[in-house]
Amino acid sequence: MAIVEREPVPSGPVDEPDDLTAGELKYWRKWSPLALANGMLTPSTSAGFVLLCQQAERAEVMWATIQSRGLEQLKVTIDGAGQEQAEYKANSLLTHWRALMLRCEQLQARYGLAADGKGPARESERDTEATELARLLAVK
């Protein structure tokens, strides 16, 4: 099996895309400095980051629609006797909003913007190459 050498991944500054809407650009400006600082936003990963900004804006718009209509909606049906029956149902957009939020969280994790549930490591807990080598060589 032949080993294929890859070109190095381009790094460096990533320009704001020209095709983002104002709402999407708001998320780009909010999150791109963090993703750049994490080393996760590069010219080769910017297309996925654009997708994150688009999904976040769509989720925000959908949530505004849900709030304007209410979390519950009245569903009226007519039974066999011709009587109206009314019951409250969850807003039908909630499931779509949840799916968008899940996708946003997945994309945030990809760019180092979501918490991983671990606290920051103390300096004494961080292994350096020397201490790791010493630990491995100390096998009895």
Flag the least confident range among 39-53, 72-86, 108-122: 108-122
Quick one: average pLDDT of 119-131?
Answer: 67
Please provide the average confidence, as pLDDT, over all residues in the chain: 86
Task: Calculate what percentage of the chain has a pLDDT beyond 90.
Answer: 58
Q: What is the pLDDT of residues 55-101, one digit of tens each?
A: 999 999 999 999 999 999 888 999 888 899 999 999 999 999 999 99
Strand, coil or helix: 134? helix
DSSP structure class, residue 114: S
Greatest mean pLDDT among 14-18, 94-98, 130-134 lies in 94-98
Task: Calculate what percentage of the chain has a pLDDT beyond 70.
Answer: 83
Flag the least confident range among 10-14, 62-66, 100-104: 10-14
Give start and end residues of each alpha helix (H) in 13-126: 22-37, 46-69, 94-110
Q: How far apart are CA 97 and CA 61, in angstroms?
A: 9
Q: How far is CA 79 from CA 74, 84, 86, 102, in A?
A: 16, 6, 10, 38
